[in-house]
Amino acid sequence: MKLVIVLVSLLALGSIAAAIFVGTRTFERTVVSDPYGHALRFDEERHARDRLGWRARFDPGSLHPGAASLAFGLLDGAGAPVDGAAIRVALVRPAGPGPELVADARPLGGGRYAVPLGFPAPGFWDVRLDVSRGGDAAGLVQEVRVAAAAEPCDLGGGRCVAPAGPFQVALDLGPRPLLPMKDLVAAVEVLRGGAPVDGAAVEVSFSMKDMFMGENRVALRGAGSGRYAGRAVLVRCASGGRAWVATVSVRAGGLAGSVELPFTVGE
Ligand SMILES: [Cu+2]
């Protein structure tokens, strides 16, 4: 009797396992209602894509949940900017249905565009771009990875990009290695919705955590195209501390935002 129960349970388990196996093997990502038409369209799109060589290069600062817009440059096969295109952008979560977010891109000039869409969650996303320009049209699908949060960035290693209220700022300090009692150049780029912001009041101040190191605030001068620059010197820390914070503050058109970017100086 015991043997029969064991055999029956084994059979039942086996069929469940088989069903799961078949289920996973036959799962498909997309269901196509008109396979023939879809294949034709897919083929045409692929040919147009190959011939035109268009592709988008997304601003890393846009690839965070909470970014208000997705900014990108459109390039042709030779890497030259493609201006004057009409682009409809869709953000699609490849795994799972989820809502599809669609909007038309706004041209910013110089082959750059921005669309007022943000990624609601981190992870891998497909960005679908339906691009037309003159008589040409192509559908591009590019996969992007949306980082979980602003990834930690050390200004000692390179420039850091972060949201500052309604703005997107990039701060670069140099020359490297960053050292106290040396002239440092602070260069800031300010964007809003992917477009450069000129005529802003931009300041960078330097401080150490839990330690007052004196007021150290630099007003940057505008250099056009959303760029600002100025000079600063960091005092040497009497306690031997090397961890600093640069705070970038931006005011423009009645809007204000600021962001703190930590960094470490050399000896
Ligand atoms: Cu200190």
Ligand 1 centroid–CA 181 distance in Å is: 13
- DSSP assignment letter at 99: P
Question: Do the domain assignments include residue 153?
Answer: no
The residue from 146, 177, 199 where one domain ends is 146
Ligand 1 centroid–CA 163 distance in Å is: 27
Ligand 1 centroid–CA 256 distance in Å is: 28
Residue 167: CATH number of its domain: 2.60.40.1930
Whether residue 256 is found in the same domain as residue 207: yes
Question: Do the domain assignments include residue 154?
Answer: no
Whether residue 177 is found in the same domain as residue 124: no
Whether residue 137 is found in the same domain as residue 169: no
Residue 123: CATH number of its domain: 2.60.40
Question: Do the domain assignments include residue 6?
Answer: no
- DSSP assignment letter at 185: E
What's the domain count of the chain? 2
Whether residue 126 is found in the same domain as residue 220: no
pLDDT tens for 113-158 read: 999 998 888 888 999 999 999 988 888 999 998 877 655 788 988 8
Whether residue 41 is found in the same domain as residue 142: yes
Ligand 1 centroid–CA 214 distance in Å is: 10
Question: Do the domain assignments include residue 13?
Answer: no
Question: Do the domain assignments include residue 221?
Answer: yes
Domain boundaries, position 226: 160-264
Ligand 1 centroid–CA 48 distance in Å is: 59
Ligand 1 centroid–CA 158 distance in Å is: 23
Ligand 1 centroid–CA 111 distance in Å is: 45
The residue from 146, 180, 213 where one domain ends is 146
Residues in CB range of 19: below 8 A, 6 or more apart: none
Query: Which pTM does this prediction carry?
Result: 0.51
pLDDT tens for 4-58 read: 555 555 555 544 444 443 333 333 334 344 445 555 666 776 777 778 899 999 9
Ligand 1 centroid–CA 211 distance in Å is: 6
The residue from 93, 116, 146 where one domain ends is 146
Question: Do the domain assignments include residue 245?
Answer: yes
